[in-house]
Amino acid sequence: MAAILRKLSHAIASSAVPAVDGDRDDHEDFSTELEYSFAIEYGGPPLAYDIPNAVPVDLDQIPTAAPVSSASLLHNLLLPVIQPIAKSNPSNKKPREEAKLESDAKPEKAIFSSNSVAPIALEYRNGEKGVSTLSDKLGSSGKLGFSCRLSGSLEDVLELPDDGQEAQGFQSYMSPGNWGSSESRSSSRSLSSEVFSGREEAGEDETPHHVKRPSTVTFRDPDSNDIVQEEEFELSDGDENVQVRPRVERNGTKGSCFRCGKGNRLTDKEVCIVCGAKYCFNCVLRAMGSMPEGRKCVTCIGFGIDESRRKKLGKGSRLLKRLLTKLEVELIMEAEISCQPNQLPAKLIFVNDEPLLQEELVRLQGCRNPPKRLKPGRYWYDNVSGFWGKEGHMPCQIISPQLNVGGHIKPEASKGDTNIMINGREITKLEAFILQLAGVPCEGKLHYWVNADGSYQEEGMNKVKGKIWDKTGIKLVCNVLSLPIPSDCANVSADEMNTQNSIEKKMPSKLVLVGYHKSGTSTIFKQAKLLYNVPFSEDERQNIKFMIQSRLYSYLGILLEGREWFEEEYLLEKSKGKGQLLDESGSSGNASQLNNKTKYSIGPRLKAFADWLIKAMVSGNLEAIFPAATREYAPFVEELWKDPAIQATYDRRNEIEMLPRPATYFLNRAVEISRPDYELSDIDILYAEGITSSNSLTSMEFSFPLSPGNSNLDPAYQRDPSLRYQLIRVHHSSLGGNCKLVEMFEDVDVVLFCVALTDYDEFSVDGVSMNKMMASKQLFENIVTHPALDRKDFLLILNKFDLLEEKIDEVPLSRCEWFLDFNPVTSQNPNSSNNNSNNPTLAHRAFQYVAMKFKRLFRSLTDRKLFVSLVTALEPDTVDEALRYAREIHHWDEEVPRLVTELSSASIDASSSA
């Protein structure tokens, strides 16, 4: 491609430079500035809407000005003269072969216009690639010698729709490229609309220096990682903490659009949140694509944002609103706020001179009263009083106290010079003024302790001398002087404050939930939210909805792969002469055999979509495409779903191993889910895989309502319903190598370790293939033996019992090397659902056996007792019981002295198997 461009740049340069002005320097300058834009004619399946069209220009049709006759000019009057398009001068003509594509394709149509942009229209005809270059065109017409500029570039031809056509325009830009033939698929990379700055001096094998431009078709090619490659980076001040970000080059003058170089400072533009490049209305979609991470140039995807723009995250702009529909803008804003690369980087936040660790940042942001508008920078934090400020400045906020984040506070943290120390920090003059107003002695060198509730005492003395915030007028003065006041007490009385403080002191008991891949931790967490009425925020609901919509496409992709196998299998059988047997459709089988059609065959339009979807899925790019493009493909989903071949495939879904279990639930409602107005139900939330796409740590606070009468729990275990609990769900992968990060849970009360009972014959697919039960066991060992969890209570949740019941009769438990000695005495009636201890089902025996294996393992590692609970995460009662059990374990622990004589370990065992 580079060679072709160089040839083109020769061709264009030689033609664009007037014959009379053969100055070589001019020529080179001109050619280095040349830019080319490519487009190909859409050859995919028919769409329900118009797509931009590259209209060929017939050179003969271009109106030209008649030459001004010199006779008509007045003597000595210099007028600008428009030169006509003249017949070519063969001596200036580039040899046609030189500019010809290696493919030898026959050019059919071409459009060319250049000042600095030379777009070239590529065409596909039956998979045959063709390109019309300038020299082709001129060669065929035998004409050359432009001295005037053809008006309108191809980009202008492919102009974005005006306001009235916004949605359609965006759809067109979000089309999956060329879905046509397999050839066109393989060359879909050339769909990218790239604008190259061609450099004459580039050597044969060198890639020309180019500023990569976003694709007009806004999806990444599934095969290509090109658009995230970046050639130039800048380091700011050599600070290793500062993330390297792509640098952008502007084509035009200051204030102009970074892409087309047009416009000025007053033109409405959209700004890339990473590199600051600004794009005009016409260029923004080309430059930013489908915006999977919000408003970023495609080359900036994956990079952290420019922190000075953080406060703009999620705030839609006028320009986007003009360009896209409300839903599309919402989607993009959502992605902008929630995607991983846009999150605040912990290491850029220094608290008391120390950079934060990720878990410290989580703690800081997740506390009851977190710092507002936190951004990278240096802060001080007095964790006794909760005062928080920027390094070298007076406090700006009072956040939750007692947070274990950052280093120790320094006396000079706020650059105070008053000789008055509060909790180890020398306070500023304004703070000293407030203390005086509050009646606190401020003469001489003083050291005070100030608590979060404003009570103060002199260092070394054991007597509270008073409360700063109690005095009337203090808060008002603080407000006037821009000094912070505790947020809780702004509108509440002292009494209320005391109550609040005492509640705050009653920190919730912490239950941490962890398990190996797909053990069911998210499902249990979501079930708990539903059970204890902890609402999903609008954001969470949106995230889950988008996740379900995205996953739907991967389920469809898997189904479509299955369809291919079934079709191939059918044809193979047919070629062996067995087709007749396989075809259940009787006489129509003969007709379909004649044209190689099977009941698994789909039409070309769906085939093209299927090919594209499978390719995107295999290359792992579906997440970048969906859910942004959900709306675009909803009609295809409907068409696909109704197709008999897909239904025939779906009927054989049990044979498609890759199809996860929840797929059936969602595929059954594929059409409804794919629609933009799809409304999420609680059951959908439960069945959705995961919680959000990026969450590795999720937490909720709740209390247990009084147990309903039919609860299996002994009423003696009813507890104060106002007691608070925090359930923290951690994805095992976020615990780091050897579960190092478990140490952030050293203050948890009970660890809930979740194991999927069905894992015994399954193998993990990522990394080294390993039996999932063995992997679970390994994770269990790592966590249990972690020093931070020494002597913690563990509750083993054996999950997916419903699935175990289905599986155990088919697949023996001894498939897992750890369970080789499982030798149940088969019951009289293996299908009986009776699970009492006299006649337990095979699944129950298996559960008891697995529980026993883990208990023994736990004892061998800790010399302590492991508690076990049997759960089916999709059934609320079992989750409720497991969590209430965890609560009991925690409180038993607190009440050991009283309970130790009452509770024997036998009763614990009994309740665990219940």
**C-beta of 522: minimal distance to Mg ion in Å?**
3
Of the ranges 120-128, 160-168, 684-692, 887-895, which one interacts with ligand GTP (CB under 6 A)? 684-692
Closest CA to 292 of 212, 186, 214: 214
Backbone angles phi, psi at 910, to 5 degrees: -60, -45
Binding residues for GTP: 799-802, 873
Backbone angles phi, psi at 661, to 5 degrees: -60, -45
Compute the 3-state secondary structure of the chain and give helix, strand, coil in percent, each to the nearest 5.
Answer: 40, 10, 45
Of the ranges 30-38, 40-48, 427-435, 799-807, which one interacts with ligand GTP (CB under 6 A)? 799-807
Backbone angles phi, psi at 397, to 5 degrees: -160, 155
Contacts of ligand GTP in 162-191 (CB under 6 A):
none
> Which residue's CB is nearer to Mg ion, number 579 or number 690?
690
**C-beta of 841: minimal distance to ligand GTP in Å?**
17
**C-beta of 517: minimal distance to Mg ion in Å?**
8
Q: What is the CA radius of gyration of the chain?
A: 35
| Residue from 800, 807, 887, 890 in contact with ligand GTP (CB under 6 A) | 800
Which residue type is seen at 755? V
405: three-class secondary structure by DSSP: coil
Contacts of ligand GTP in 373-432 (CB under 6 A):
none
| Residue from 610, 690, 695, 846 in contact with ligand GTP (CB under 6 A) | 690
562 C-beta neighbours (distance < 10 Å), count: 21
Compute the distance between CA of residue 419 and CA of residue 434 in angstroms, rounded to an integer. Answer: 15
> Which residue's CB is nearer to Mg ion, number 172 or number 693?
693
278's contact among Mg ion, ligand GTP, none, with CB below 5 to 8 A by partner kind, is: none
Compute the distance between CA of residue 804 and CA of residue 843 in angstroms, rounded to an integer. Answer: 6
Strand residue runs (E) in 101-235 = 117-125, 128-131, 196-197, 233-234
Assess whether the previous peptide bond of 897 is cis (omega < 30° from 0).
no
245's contact among ligand GTP, Mg ion, none, with CB below 5 to 8 A by partner kind, is: none
Compute the distance between CA of residue 644 and CA of residue 566 in angstroms, rounded to an integer. Answer: 13
| CA-to-CA dists, residue 558 to 561, 612, 664, angstroms | 5, 13, 12
Closest CA to 296 of 276, 322, 314: 276
Q: How buried is 555 (Cβ within 10 angstroms: 0-12 exposed, 13-18 middle, 19+ buried)?
A: buried
| Residue from 544, 690, 777, 892 in contact with Mg ion (CB under 5 A) | 690
**C-beta of 690: minimal distance to ligand GTP in Å?**
5
Binding residues: 522, 694, 799-802, 873
| CA-to-CA dists, residue 678 to 633, 668, 669, 674, angstroms | 14, 14, 10, 7
> Which residue's CB is nearer to ligand GTP, number 652 or number 731?
731
Contacts of ligand GTP in 500-519 (CB under 6 A):
515, 517-519
Q: 655: which 2 tokens?
A: 């044979």
**C-beta of 237: minimal distance to ligand GTP in Å?**
39
Question: Counting contacts by CB under 5 A, is residue 674 touching Mg ion?
Answer: no
Site string for Mg ion, 788-827 (x = CB under 5 A): ----------------------------------------
Of the ranges 263-271, 439-447, 686-694, 785-793, which one interacts with Mg ion (CB under 5 A)? 686-694
> Which residue's CB is nearer to ligand GTP, number 56 or number 660?
660
| Residue from 31, 550, 601, 799 in contact with ligand GTP (CB under 6 A) | 799
Of the ranges 345-353, 508-516, 518-526, 791-799, which one interacts with Mg ion (CB under 5 A)? 518-526
- Give the strand order in the sheet containing 128-131: 128-131, 117-125, 35-40, 196-197
Q: What is the DSSP letter of 292?
A: B
Q: How buried is 132 (Cβ within 10 angstroms: 0-12 exposed, 13-18 middle, 19+ buried)?
A: buried
Please work out the total of residues on this chain that contact Mg ion, with binding judged by CB under 5 A: 2
Contacts of ligand GTP in 801-820 (CB under 6 A):
802-803
- 868 forms bridges with which residues in the sheet? 796
> Which residue's CB is nearer to ligand GTP, number 158 or number 339?
339
Question: Counting contacts by CB under 6 A, is residue 872 touching ligand GTP?
Answer: yes
442's torsion region: left (phi>0), alpha (psi -120 to 50) or beta?
A: alpha
Closest CA to 372 of 364, 384, 380: 364
386's torsion region: left (phi>0), alpha (psi -120 to 50) or beta?
A: left
| Residue from 112, 388, 600, 687 in contact with ligand GTP (CB under 6 A) | 687
**C-beta of 549: minimal distance to ligand GTP in Å?**
16
Please work out the total of residues on this chain that contact ligand GTP, with binding judged by CB under 6 A: 22
| Residue from 522, 550, 758, 912 in contact with Mg ion (CB under 5 A) | 522
Of the ranges 282-290, 407-415, 612-620, 800-808, which one interacts with ligand GTP (CB under 6 A)? 800-808
652's contact among ligand GTP, Mg ion, none, with CB below 5 to 8 A by partner kind, is: none
- Residues 798 and 878 sit within 8 Å (Cβ to Cβ): no
Question: Counting contacts by CB under 6 A, is residue 873 touching ligand GTP?
Answer: yes
Of the ranges 123-131, 399-407, 545-553, 798-806, which one interacts with ligand GTP (CB under 6 A)? 798-806
What is the full DSSP assignment across 317-334?
-HHHHHHS-HHHHHHHHH
Binding residues for Mg(2+): 522, 694
| Residue from 190, 521, 630, 869 in contact with ligand GTP (CB under 6 A) | 521
**C-beta of 218: minimal distance to ligand GTP in Å?**
29
Which residue shows structure tokens 């490519």? 38
Question: Counting contacts by CB under 6 A, is residue 884 touching ligand GTP?
Answer: no
Backbone angles phi, psi at 360, to 5 degrees: -70, -40
Question: Counting contacts by CB under 6 A, is residue 520 touching ligand GTP?
Answer: yes
295's contact among ligand GTP, Mg ion, none, with CB below 5 to 8 A by partner kind, is: none
**C-beta of 910: minimal distance to ligand GTP in Å?**
23
Compute the distance between CA of residue 230 and CA of residue 216 in angstroms, rounded to an integer. Answer: 18
276's contact among ligand GTP, Mg ion, none, with CB below 5 to 8 A by partner kind, is: none
Of the ranges 69-77, 174-182, 427-435, 660-668, which one interacts with ligand GTP (CB under 6 A)? 660-668
> Which residue's CB is nearer to ligand GTP, number 294 or number 690?
690
Contacts of 250 (CB under 8 A, 6+ apart): 256, 258, 261, 277
| Residue from 523, 542, 630, 776 in contact with ligand GTP (CB under 6 A) | 523
User: Parallel, antiparallel, or unpaired for β 349-351 and 278-280?
Assistant: unpaired
Question: Counting contacts by CB under 6 A, is residue 693 touching ligand GTP?
Answer: no
Q: How many residues does the chain have?
A: 914
Compute the distance between CA of residue 535 and CA of residue 702 in angstroms, rounded to an integer. Answer: 10
> Which residue's CB is nearer to ligand GTP, number 529 or number 599?
529
Closest CA to 195 of 88, 246, 120: 120
Question: Counting contacts by CB under 6 A, is residue 551 touching ligand GTP?
Answer: no
Contacts of ligand GTP in 728-767 (CB under 6 A):
731
Q: Name the residue number minimizing CB distance to Mg ion.
A: 522
| Residue from 178, 192, 215, 522 in contact with ligand GTP (CB under 6 A) | 522
Of the ranges 322-330, 352-360, 619-627, 688-696, which one interacts with Mg ion (CB under 5 A)? 688-696
Residues that bind Mg ion (CB under 5 A): 522, 690
Q: Which residues would be at the binding site for ligand GTP (CB under 6 A)?
A: 515, 517-523, 660-662, 687, 689-690, 731, 799-800, 802-803, 872-874
